[in-house]
A and B are shown apart, each in its own frame.
Chain A
Amino acid sequence: MKPGPFVHHAPRTVEEAVALLGEHGHDGKVLAGGQSLIPVLNMRLANPGHLVDVNRVEGLDAVEVTGETVRVGALVRHAGLERHDAAFDALPLLRQALRNVAHPAIRNRGTTVGSIAHADPAGEMPAVAVLTGAVVEAAGPRGRREIDAADFFLGPLETTLEPDELVVAVRFGRLPPGTRTGFLEAARRHGDYALAGVAVAVRTEGEEVAEARAGFVSVTPVPSVLDLSPALSGRRTDDLPLDDVADLVLGHVDPESDIHASAEYRAMLAAELTRRALASVARAPADAATEGAA
């Protein structure tokens, strides 16, 4: 239960970090918050020869809110983003989801961008990334590129990122005016990996749903968006056909069985959590901040 030997690198700039990653290729690994990586190292499930510790790289720790996006730097800790009032006002779903990311002691160290780059299907923030149409900003020896969250995730723990690329930030998209969001998950113990979870975004016009979408945690191999509009658009918020929604969810999710829960149970949970999230989101007033957003 101790990590194997590695060489520790502490670059000060993105360019130095990327050069080190280029030099060491698949034998190098980025260390940011380490809350997913270090357990893997402790259990010797991976044994990279070089860790590129980006914690001292300048300029990666900012949260920037614009009219269209919330840009989160690679060193922003979950707890820092959770506490960030301007980010909450711009995109309430961030805080709604972050409250479910592990325990506070993990959120104090773990980074939001790192959890997206790690691409664990049980991660909350990858689901939020796809639901908000986020853009991943990657730096590499060939320069910088931007990757839509929808194209970023290839499979569990697998992304389109090259071994010599570093994610420097993720830009979460702000949702249109009149959108309400919610996040629910079920875990054996609050803060543990979710058996199933869901993020929902519902845009209303007057008393009627204009569009609705959901993203899931722990029940799909990669985070993906389910369009619920076919079942919900045009329906009054106090009369949502939640059985139809549950059927859409059951058709969309593809969970696996493990020691904690069967696939059937996880699918049932995903459907039920979606019903509850929609029912509570539809009753709530539209987010004032989202309402007033550009």
Chain B
Amino acid sequence: MSNPPDTEELLDITVHVNGVPRTAATPARRLLSDFLRHDLDLTGTHVGCEHGVCGACTVLLDGEPVRSCLLFAVSAQGHEVTTVEGIGNDPAALSPVQQAFLECHGLQCGFCTPGFVTTITAYLEDHPDPTPEEARDAVSGNLCRCTGYQNIVRSVLRAAEIRRDRGGQR
């Protein structure tokens, strides 16, 4: 292509993040993952592969899991984005999935964990009582280099229990 402009045009982009409208001036090429981290300082969303393979950057777009590295912030305008901070941001009040990861040792280094938490949270909304096999399938789109996945699968099943105990709470 021709020479890129020295200064890029900035767009005022407003995205509803965790229930709050957030606006930042950012270039059109800004990925949603970078918009969250760089422009909004929401660093709970982690960036791994940046081509949709690892799942670490998974957020909920209008309640459904998507890769935030495969979405431009400009495309998320007018939509509701839920990050891991929106699922639970208080160590004293963990969400069912977060509590399950803690109890089952579902994380080691923690890099992949935000993507698992968002993915599993949305999955349990639609499948509140998964079998071990279904739980394994539910996390097949997320990579973890530490755990060997056994404890993550256990965490999915435990999270389903906690959800039921808490009366279906997210």
- Interface residues of A, Cβ cutoff 8 Å to B: 1-8, 10, 27, 31, 34-35, 38-39, 41-43, 47-49, 51, 53, 55, 79, 102-106, 108-109, 189-191
Contacts and interface: CB of A to CB of B under 8 A. Distances in A.
B58 A105 contact: yes
Interface in B120-165: 123, 137, 140-141
Interface string B45-61: 00000111001001001
B75 A103 contact: no
A48 B1 contact: yes
A6 B50 contact: no
B105 interface: no
Interface in B50-104: 50-52, 55, 58, 61, 64-67, 69-72, 74-75
Contact of A4 (B29, B31, B50, B75): B29
Contacts of A3: 29, 31
A105 B143 CA distance: 13
B71 A5 contact: no
Contacts, number: 95
A10 B64 CA distance: 23
B11 interface: yes
A175 to B, nearest CB: 28
Given A2-B34, A53-B75, A39 B70 contact: yes
Contacts of B52: 35, 38-39, 102, 106
B65 A104 contact: yes
B71 A108 contact: no
Given A1-B50, A53-B75, A34 B28 contact: no
A2 B73 CA distance: 13
Chain B contact-residue range equals 20 to 34
Contacts of B29: 2-6, 41
A79 B50 CA distance: 22
B64 to A, nearest CB: 4
User: Lowest 7 CB-CB distances: which A-B pairs, in order?
Assistant: A103-B141, A8-B28, A39-B51, A1-B50, A105-B65, A5-B4, A108-B64
A27 B140 contact: no
B119 interface: yes
B141 A5 contact: no
A interface SS class: loop
Contacts of B9: 7
B19 interface: no
Contact of B74 (A1, A47, A53): A53
28 contacts: A1-B51, A2-B34, A5-B29, A6-B28, A6-B29, A8-B74, A27-B1, A34-B71, A34-B75, A35-B52, A39-B52, A42-B31, A42-B51, A48-B1, A79-B64, A103-B55, A104-B65, A104-B123, A105-B55, A105-B58, A105-B67, A105-B119, A106-B52, A109-B66, A109-B67, A109-B70, A189-B140, A190-B140
A44 B141 CA distance: 24
B8 interface: yes
A108 B75 contact: no
Contacts of B137: 190
A185 to B, nearest CB: 14
A27 B3 CA distance: 12
Interface string B3-43: 01100110100000000000000011101001000000000
B169 interface: no
Contacts of B75: 31, 34, 53, 55
Nearest to B64: A108
Contacts of B123: 104
A58 to B, nearest CB: 15
A105 B141 contact: yes
Contacts of A41: 29
A280 B9 CA distance: 56
Contacts of B28: 5-8, 51
B1 A49 contact: yes
Contacts of A39: 51-52, 70
Contacts of A191: 140-141
A122 B13 CA distance: 35
A106 B141 CA distance: 9
